[in-house]
Amino acid sequence: DVKVTQSSRYLVKRTGEKVFLECVQDMDHENMFWYRQDPGLGLRLIYFSYDVKMKEKGDIPEGYSVSREKKERFSLILESASTNQTSMYLCASSAAGTDYEQYFGPGTRLTVT
Amino acid sequence: DAKTTQPTSMDCAEGRAANLPCNHSTISGNEYVYWYRQIHSQGPQYIIHGLKNNETNEMASLIITEDRKSSTLILPHATLRDTAVYYCIVRVFGNEKLTFGTGTRLTIIP
């Protein structure tokens, strides 16, 4: 079974802190994605990566950056966390090619106080 | 990508077929219809996808109208575990990204 794991299920950080959210997949997938999910807004794509060291902005990249140094790991970075970044963050991966589905991790609920 | 319209919520009795509609009237010829679902406190899960022919797998069936402007996801024998938010997504061939809407909250009633 494909497994996508995220470093924490719940995280509480203070405003201004630098926050790292880690995602690891074990299926040698080329593509990895970061979404955030907020009530009434559905899932929104923040960034995605189609190869090591490659990244593309999604629909809401402001306030975030990403890092992909190894194929299996994709990190989301909040350089200076703000309260409006309180959200559920979901990581996903997929094989290259659009006929492949995305596999999601369980999510990290981040609260910024 | 074309936008989709789904009912906000639906109920279905356990053991009955759950039919979830999706309208995608602006769909173009190179866009696929995908369905995902999200059970409470979990990440979304892929269900099925199709282009213009009806599709069936072990989880569900997907019926796409001939003009491709709407589709229906069918869960043939709904169980309590099928209670979830169901997302209908239209995706351009060649586009790696998925654009999620707010989906349909399906509640299976015992």
Question: Out of A50, A58, A90, whose CB is closest to B43?
Answer: A90
In angstroms, rounded to a whole number, what is the distance separating the alpha carbons of residues A63 and B8?
31
B23 has a pLDDT exceeding 70: yes
Q: Could you report the per-residue pLDDT of A5-22, keeping only the tens digit for each?
A: 999 999 999 999 999 999
- Distance separating alpha carbons of residues B87 and A63, to the nearest angstrom: 27
Cα distance between residue B109 and residue B91, in whole Å: 32
* pLDDT surpassing 90 at residue B62: yes
Strand order in B18-23's β-sheet? B18-23, B70-75, B61-64, B55-56
The beta-carbon neighbor of A42 closest among B92, B95, B101 is B101
Q: How confident is the model at residue A99 (pLDDT cuts 50, 70, 90)?
A: low
Which residues of chain B lie closer than 8 angstroms to A40, CB-CB? Answer: 102
Residue with tokens 């909250």: B105
Q: Is A44 within 8 Å of B100 when comparing Cβ atoms? A: yes
Angle subtended at Cα B91 by Cα B77 and Cα A87, rounded to the nearest 5 degrees: 80
Note whether A40 contacts B: Cβ–Cβ < 8 A: yes
Find the residue in B nearest to A45 (Cα): B99
Local confidence band at A95 (pLDDT 50, 70, 90 cut-offs): confident
Rounded mean pLDDT, B50-69:
94
Tell me if A98 and B91 make a contact (CB, 8 A cut-off): yes
User: How many Å lie between the alpha carbon of B110 and the closest alpha carbon of chain A?
Assistant: 27
Q: Pick the range with the lowest mean pLDDT from A26-40, A82-96, A97-111, B49-63.
A: A97-111
Burial B69-93 (b: 16+ CB within 10 A, else e): ebbebbbeebeeebbbbbbbbbbbe
Average pLDDT, rounded, for chain B: 93
The pLDDT score that the predictor gives to residue A2 is 65
Any CB–CB contact under 8 A between B97 and chain A? Answer: yes
- Touching check for B29 and chain A: CB below 8 Å? no
Q: Chain A contact for B41, CB < 8 A? A: yes
For residues B33 and B90, the answer to whether their CB atoms sit within 8 Å is: yes
- Which one of A10, A102, A108, A109 makes the best mutation probe of the B interface by having the most chain B beta carbons within 10 Å? A102
Residues of A in contact with B94 (CB under 8 A): 98
A48 touches chain B (CB under 8 A): yes
Beta bridge partners of B105: B9, B85
